[in-house]
Structures are given as C-alpha cells and as structure tokens.
Structure 1
Amino acid sequence: MLKRAYDWCVSYASHPAAPWLLFAITFVESSVSPLPPLPLLIPMCIARPDRAWVYAGVCSLGAVTGGYLGYAIGALLYESVGAWLIGIYGLQEKAAHLIHTSQDYWFWVLLTKGLTPIPFKIVTIMSGFLHFDIWKFTLGMVISRVTFFAMIAVALRYYGDDIRIFIEKHLPMTALALAVVVIGGFFVLPMVL
C-alpha cells in the first residue's frame, strides 16, 4: 500500500493539476489541516527535479496565503474554531500567558517554527489570537516558509537521484521517519512554546 501511494505521488507529478493540489494541501496545512505537503512535494520533486523550484514556489505561496486564514481564525474566530484547534494541541493554558509575554519575541517564534516541519497552523492561529503585528507576521511567514521550501527544493534538485534511491530502497523506514517528525511536532510544540 505504501509503495502504491509513493508510486501514485511520483506519477502524479506530471499531471497538470499536481501544482494545484500541492497548493491546496499547503494552504490548508497553514490554517486548519494537520497533513503536511511534504509527502506530495518530495515525490513530485524527485520525479521532476527540473520543476523543484516551481513546486517550492507553489508551496511557499500556499503557506503564506493559508497563513492569513490561520491568522484570521485566531483573530476573529478564536473563541470557537481557534480555541478548538489550539485545544487539540493542548496549548489553551499557555494562551493567556502568551498574550502578555510574547509580543517581544513572537517574531522569532514565528520564524523558527516556519523553518521546521512542525505544524505551521498553530503559529498562524496563535499569531492572530495574540493580534501580532500583521506586517511582522507577513515578513516572518514569508522568510521562514520560502526558506523552508527552498531548502527542500535545493536538496531535491541537486541530490534528487540519491534521495530517490534511498527512499525507494527504504520506503517503510522513510515513511515512518516522516510520520515521527510530523506527529512528534504535535507533542514537541507545547513544550517549546
């Protein structure tokens, strides 16, 4: 099953709708969904290393525009949708403390979290909840997400064949490692905020 999913992602890279799906997944990952774009981005870049920069740009655009939705959820819908999403990650007790103490360092939190595969929606929703300055929010989001996806594009553009061989040879281990990083992010984030 895992091999079929991987093969589908690689074969889907040439489909005209692939960038749109990648954009949609990245958009919702920055606002409401726990599913990261990496399981689709990596096989797409491996299948088409010549388009790695395009795919990184699509992900960056999706992440930034989705980040605004996350900010809006935090700022306008925190009491209903935002509190529920933050509650899933066990951060509701820290929210009041963050409002009073985070304005000075929140830009660095945003920048740091945006450079990791830790679910970005938590930071975008909290940014809205904290009414963090929208211009600083935009700057931090653009710098961190463009850098994150560009680093992936560079690695896959220049080392794509080696990475592809490794992934295909160790597909179950690679999938498990990706799952541990993504799921582990849900448990690590409450400790570092």
Structure 2
Amino acid sequence: MKIFSRLYRRVMMWAVHRHAPVYLSMTSFVESIFWPVPVDVMLAPMALARPERAWRYAALATLFSVLGAAFGYLLGYALWEPVVQPFITTMGYEGKMDIARQWFDQWGIWVIFIASFTPIPYKVFTVTAGLLQMAFLPFLLISLVGRGLRFFLVSGMMVWGGVRMERKLIQYIDILGWLCLAAVVVAYLLLRH
C-alpha cells in the first residue's frame, strides 16, 4: 500500500504553500506547549522544497519554539492548578510529569538542553520548568541553543542531501513509513503500564 508516498507528495505541496512559514511558526509555538507532532515533520519538507530559504525556516522554527517554551513555562509557573494539572490528568501525562521532575532533580538545567535537542517531549519540560520555578533566563538561553541546534541541523541535512536525498526518500518512503509505524506500535506496547 502506497499510503506514505501519497502523503509525502501532499506534504511537499503544503511545504511550498505561500502560508507555509506562518504554519511552521504556529506549529513551532504550540509544539513547545502541548502539540504532539514534532516541528521537524513540517520543517524538513519545507527546507527540502526550498533550500534557499532553509536557514530562514530554521530561524523561524527556533524563535517560535522558544516563545512557545516561554509560554509553557509561564503556564507551569502561574496556572498549574487551574489549567495545567487538569489537562495533564485528562491526557494521562502524570507519569511523564513525574519522570520530568526526577530528571530535573538529577540533571538540573541540562535536562532542558536534552529535551530541546532530542525527540523527548519538550513540552513536558517547559511546563515542568515553570512549575519548579527554574531560573527563567537560563531556561530561555538553553532552550534557544538546543532548539536552534536541532532545527538548523534538520535544515542543514535537507540542504546538504538535496535532490539526491529526495529521490532516495521517494524510492523508500513507503517502506520507511511502515517501519516507523511498526516501531511506534512496538514502543507503545513495551512502555505502557
């Protein structure tokens, strides 16, 4: 079934849409607070479709992601009980919040860098940083460095790989898509409690 190749073609059409930078900015902002879809899903095809704008897209993603992180921090800091805690309970994220607190105890500010650069859910750590009243300026600076490294790396890979990488991606997209889906299902089954 060629589901992923059809989806890929559609995403590439969206990537060149005239409002794509606005959508990227909005996605970057909300992903740092609650949105489950990583920014890379939108950034990579945009950088691949328009490599001459890749660095601008990475800068937009970084800026709006850090602004979203600041908003998430403020939610955790000022609106934990009336807003955030009920949302966490509804989404079943209590365990993730406990893990985030443990990681903050163990690694301190470096957990922000780890969460901002890796696929770990950054949003959990932005809100937890506010809840734990972490120093705001270091939080912002570490977020800026981590998110910037991640998004500029993604854009750089798309520029570097260019047309060759796109041809290979199109050739194997369906296989890769099904493998990723299988990996997500296996991870879910292994990690659920």
TM over 0.5: yes
User: Cα 1:108–1:177, aligned 2, differ >3 Å: closer, same or farther?
Assistant: farther
Paired residues for 1:60-139 under 5 Å = 60-87=62-89, 88-91=92-95, 94=98, 98=101, 102=104, 105-139=107-141
Between the aligned partners of 1:70 and 1:186, the Cα distance in structure 2 is: 26
Which residues in structure 2 correspond to 1:129-168 (within 5 Å)? 129-168=131-170
SS at match of 1:10: helix
Stretch of structure 1 that moved more, 109-118 or 2-11: 2-11
Go from structure 1 to structure 2 and tell me whether the alpha carbon gap of 1:63 and 1:163 turns closer, same or farther (over 3 Å shift).
same
In the TM superposition, 1:26-37 aligns within 5 A as: 26-37=28-39
1:23-75 CA distances to partner (integer Å, 9 max, x unpaired)? 11111100111111222211111111111111111110111011011111211
**Is residue 28–residue 39 contact of structure 2 (8 Å, CA) maintained in 1?**
yes
Go from structure 1 to structure 2 and tell me whether the alpha carbon gap of 1:127 and 1:183 turns closer, same or farther (over 3 Å shift). farther
Partner Cα distance (1:26, 1:143) in 2: 15
Unaligned runs of 5+ in 1: none
CA shift in 2, pair 1:152/1:137, >3 Å: same
Equivalent residue for 1:23, pick from 9, 12, 25: 25
CA contact (8 A) 1:75 1:129 kept: yes
Aligned-partner Cα distance in 1 for 2:15–2:95: 37
- Give % identity: 28
Paired positions, count: 188
Change (3 A) 1:41 1:183: farther
Measure, in 2, the Cα distance between the counterparts of 1:86 and 1:187. Answer: 21
Deviation at 1:181, TM superposition (A): 7.9
Q: Any residues of structure 2 matched to 1:47-66 within 5 Å, and which?
A: 47-66=49-68
Contact 1:110 1:123 in 2 (8 A): yes
| TM-score between both structures, scaled by the size of structure 1 | 0.82
AA aligned to 1:12 is W
Q: d(CA) in 2 for partners of 1:127 and 1:184?
A: 30
For the residue of structure 2 that corresponds to 1:15, the secondary structure is: coil
Residue 91 of structure 1 aligns to a residue whose secondary structure is helix
Name the Cα RMSD after superposition.
3.1
> Is the deviation greater in 9-18 or in 56-65?
9-18
2:6 is aligned with what amino acid? R
**Cα distance change on mapping 1:19 and 1:48 into 2, 3 Å:** same
8 Å Cα contact 2:65/2:147 also seen in 1: yes
